[in-house]
Amino acid sequence: MSTGLWRDYAHMLNLAVSVLERTDPEPAWHLVLAELARGMHAQAVSLTQARYAERTGRVLAWKSRFTVAQDYLDALTVRQIHAGNPLVAHYTSAKDRTPLSASQIMGKRAWLRSRSHRLARSTLGAHMLGIPLPAPAGVARGFVLHHAQDDFTAEEIAYARRVQPLLIGIDGHYRALERWRTAATCEAPGAGAAVAPAERAAEVGLTPRQLAVLALLAKAMPATAIAHRLHISPRTAHKHIEGIYRKLGTCDRLSTVMRAQSLGLLPPPSPEARPPSAG
């Protein structure tokens, strides 16, 4: 790996650490997208989710040198799907999750003659590269980067593959927080008005990273499964769990989930829910 590639990877690694340690639980995708654009020399980069079979898609976050509106980006995503965009087609049909450029998937000549290329050339950039994230079957979710003139170089593609695990970890963290925030948006016990979940978490000193782990603990996931979901080591997962125990004054998973429910950090259990083990 070249010196430049190591340097760019170090920038993204440092950013990933700082993003995951932010006290604000809201996604900081603008920081991640800006660093991706810099490292990949891209004039536009988006976090996009699409379904090729249904011909639907939307842009979740973006960074561009141009002034663009959300409606325009969502409509452009759908137009790309109808034009046979190779990134969406590939990542919804194949199990391959390797970052690839459109020309790598289709072949350079076929890509340059395609409707998708003509559309890209007249909008955000003539060449495209995808960095996929984990997604359900039939769904393509990930980052799409654009170059205006030249295709992506071998070094840029190597950089994309190098930072992909960091991006997967950040995405897993934010998705766990989103599920927690949705589930925890209920009235705090004994309160007449709704209290923001983030405020309740701040009162007991839980960090967004610990909240992501707590949300998975409530699903009865063992530390190894939590580590896999958040793309961290089992040892790190155990450390987060120990930190949650300490801040909530508990000693096992069952009492931790029950305590979190009593504080309004987790929704009350449904009658059919299976409680987490006490281990």
Residue % of the chain over a pLDDT of 70: 91
Average pLDDT over residues 72-86: 96
Residue 9 token pair: 């990877």
pLDDT higher than threshold 80 for residue 184: no
Q: Average per-residue pLDDT in the chain?
A: 88
Residue 236 token pair: 């790190």
* Model pLDDT for residues 259-279, shown as the tens digit of each residue: 998 888 888 776 555 556 555
Question: What's residue 193's pLDDT?
Answer: 43
Residue % of the chain over a pLDDT of 90: 61
More confident residue, 161 or 277: 161
Q: How far apart are CA 56 and CA 112, in angstroms?
A: 24
Average pLDDT over residues 230-243: 91
* Structure confidence at residue 231 as a pLDDT band (50, 70, 90): confident
Nearest to 163 by CA among 30, 37, 262: 37
Q: What is the dihedral of CA 269, 250, 27, 186, to 10 degrees?
A: 30
pLDDT higher than threshold 60 for residue 187: no
- Would you say the C-alpha torsion 5, 10, 11, 13 has a positive or negative sign? positive
Q: How many CB atoms lie within 10 A of CB 277?
A: 10
Domain boundaries along the sequence of the chain: 3-170, 185-262
First-to-last C-alpha distance (Å) of the chain: 43
* Structure confidence at residue 191 as a pLDDT band (50, 70, 90): very low
Question: What's residue 271's pLDDT?
Answer: 54
- The CATH topology of domain 3-170 is Beta-Lactamase (3.30.450)
* Model pLDDT for residues 109-145, shown as the tens digit of each residue: 999 999 999 999 999 999 999 999 999 999 999 999 9
Average pLDDT over residues 13-32: 85
Q: How far apart are CA 81 and CA 101, in angstroms?
A: 16
Helix extents (H) in the chain: 3-20, 29-40, 70-82, 86-93, 102-106, 108-112, 115-121, 154-184, 197-204, 208-217, 223-230, 234-248, 253-262
Question: What's residue 219's pLDDT?
Answer: 87
Question: What's residue 95's pLDDT?
Answer: 85
Q: How many CB atoms lie within 10 A of CB 87?
A: 27
Question: What's residue 236's pLDDT?
Answer: 92
* Model pLDDT for residues 207-221, shown as the tens digit of each residue: 888 999 998 998 889
Question: What's residue 188's pLDDT?
Answer: 47
- The CATH topology of domain 185-262 is Arc Repressor Mutant, subunit A (1.10.10)
Nearest to 123 by CA among 160, 152, 80, 87: 80
Question: What's residue 272's pLDDT?
Answer: 54
Ranges 17-31, 83-97, 151-165: which has the least confidence: 17-31
